[in-house]
């Protein structure tokens, strides 16, 4: 197969070639994972980047994303407005204490108001004074140029806005905004020198061609960071009864994404515990990044298990520190 070697030698494989590889079940998933591992090792060695999410505003969303427990159709879920500065700051302190590289401040909703952007910006400035090495990722929804400028000035390093699915399948997933709305926000961030983070959710009924299209869309966007979510079906949502992922299928997807986007930070994100189950560590052969702690409205596994998984694999946390504190392996996030 020698896929990794060909890719490292600069060969550009086409969509058709990747589709053929992905669909060919004579190509064993573990062999594909080994090819992905060669690329992961080439660019990241055995380092694992850690990310932590703060759900800074929950529910109260007018959008109808079919996978989301915070959509307008899910009235019974927990709802609260944007949390205060102290709460966001204390999350940053927890992140620092656990040697998390990137702290992700996430807001529900179509997009932030100017007032909300001001609040986040003031808070990020204060976080950067206390923890200059902590990267800040904002995930606030659809934004405009002015808002992006303010976030950049405040010290926001990265902005997450997922494409979620392929352009073709987008309108099956959500109808209250377009695929282009999403890619426009990513472009605005890039224009303002904010590192683009954009990823996908698998298991919503997408075809194999959609999978390849998503991987290539992110390659074209040149997303620095690619979170791969596996649908964790939430009762009452449009995709609440979906059940099309298996642990091996998840591994094949992560391997494929590494092969198409060899040098990027690829994160196994929401739904990893319930979909990969006991095979989670194998996914780190292709991915080099995880979330530690809970997701937005679904729980993650205890963080002690994440640190153990990394250590048991012989991998190590990717964290630059200018002091001698050691991360807390046991205290809960």
* Interior angle at CA 234, CA 52 and CA 236, nearest 5: 145
Among residues 50, 61, 127, 256, which is the contact residue for ligand SF4, using CB under 6 A? Answer: 61
67 and 201 in contact (C-beta within 8 Å)? yes
> From the CB of 59, what's the least distance to ligand SF4, in Å?
8
C-beta closer to ligand SF4: residue 61 or 256: 61
Among residues 65, 136, 211, 266, which is the contact residue for ligand SF4, using CB under 6 A? Answer: 65
198 and 161 in contact (C-beta within 8 Å)? yes
Give the HSE-up count for residue 325: Cα atoms under 13 Å, Cβ half-sphere: 12
> From the CB of 70, what's the least distance to ligand SF4, in Å?
4
53 near ligand SF4 (CB under 6 A): no
CA distance 85 to 222: 32
β-pairing, 289-291 with 200-202? unpaired
Contact code string over 247-286 relative to ligand SF4, x by CB under 6 A: ----------------------------------------
C-beta closer to ligand SF4: residue 68 or 292: 68
What three-state secondary structure class fits 171? helix
Among residues 70, 143, 192, 288, which is the contact residue for ligand SF4, using CB under 6 A? Answer: 70
- Stretch of 47-55, 58-66, 196-204, 279-287 contacting ligand SF4, by CB under 6 A: 58-66
CA distance 303 to 279: 17
Residue 74 makes CB contacts below 8 A (sequence gap 6+) with: 59, 68, 234, 236, 237
Contact code string over 77-116 relative to ligand SF4, x by CB under 6 A: -------------------------------xxx------
> From the CB of 76, what's the least distance to ligand SF4, in Å?
14
Among residues 32, 50, 53, 68, which is the contact residue for ligand SF4, using CB under 6 A? Answer: 68
> From the CB of 299, what's the least distance to ligand SF4, in Å?
18
Among residues 7, 44, 56, 63, which is the contact residue for ligand SF4, using CB under 6 A? Answer: 63
Contact code string over 128-157 relative to ligand SF4, x by CB under 6 A: -------------x----------------
C-beta closer to ligand SF4: residue 162 or 280: 162
The phi, psi pair for 5, rounded to 5°, reads: -60, -45
CA distance 207 to 293: 31
**Is the four-CA dihedral 119, 158, 133, 290 of positive or negative sign?**
positive
- Stretch of 34-42, 62-70, 210-218, 308-316 contacting ligand SF4, by CB under 6 A: 62-70
- Which long-range contacts link 325-329 to residues 24+ away (Cβ below 8 Å)? 325/97, 327/97, 327/98, 327/99, 328/97, 328/98, 329/304
> 90: which 2 tokens?
């204390």
C-beta closer to ligand SF4: residue 110 or 125: 110
Which residues contribute to the site for ligand SF4 (CB under 6 A)? 61, 63, 65, 68, 70-71, 108-110, 141
């Amino acid at each position: 197969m020698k896929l990794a070697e060909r890719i490292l030698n600069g060969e550009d494989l086409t969509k058709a070639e990747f589709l053929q590889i992905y669909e060919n079940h004579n190509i064993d998933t573990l062999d594909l994972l080994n090819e992905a591992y060669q690329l992961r090792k080439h660019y990241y060695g055995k380092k694992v980047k850690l990310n932590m999410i703060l759900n800074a505003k929950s529910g109260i969303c007018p959008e109808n994303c079919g996978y989301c427990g915070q959509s307008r159709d899910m009235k019974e879920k927990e709802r609260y407005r944007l949390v205060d500065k102290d709460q966001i700051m204390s999350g940053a302190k927890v992140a620092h204490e656990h040697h998390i590289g990137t702290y992700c401040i996430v807001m529900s909703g179509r997009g932030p108001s100017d007032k909300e952007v001001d609040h986040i910006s003031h808070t990020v400035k204060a976080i950067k004074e206390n923890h200059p090495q902590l990267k800040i990722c904002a995930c606030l929804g659809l934004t405009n140029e002015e808002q992006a400028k303010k976030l950049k000035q405040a010290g926001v390093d990265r902005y997450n806005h997922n494409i979620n699915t392929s352009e073709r399948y987008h309108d099956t997933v959500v109808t209250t905004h377009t695929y282009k709305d999403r890619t426009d926000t990513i472009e605005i961030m890039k224009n303002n020198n904010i590192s683009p983070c954009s990823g996908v959710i698998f298991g919503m009924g997408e075809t194999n061609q959609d999978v390849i299209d998503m991987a290539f869309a992110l390659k074209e966007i040149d997303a620095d960071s690619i979170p791969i979510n596996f649908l964790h079906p939430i009762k009452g949502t449009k995709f609440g009864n979906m059940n099309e992922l298996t642990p091996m299928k998840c591994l094949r997807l992560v391997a494929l994404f590494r092969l198409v986007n060899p040098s990027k930070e690829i994160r196994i994100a929401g739904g990893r515990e319930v979909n990969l189950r006991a095979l989670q560590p194998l996914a780190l052969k292709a991915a080099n990044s995880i979330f530690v702690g809970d997701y937005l409205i679904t729980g993650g596994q205890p963080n002690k298990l994440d640190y153990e998984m990394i250590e048991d694999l012989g991998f190590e946390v990717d964290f630059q520190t200018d002091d001698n504190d050691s991360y807390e392996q046991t205290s809960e996030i």
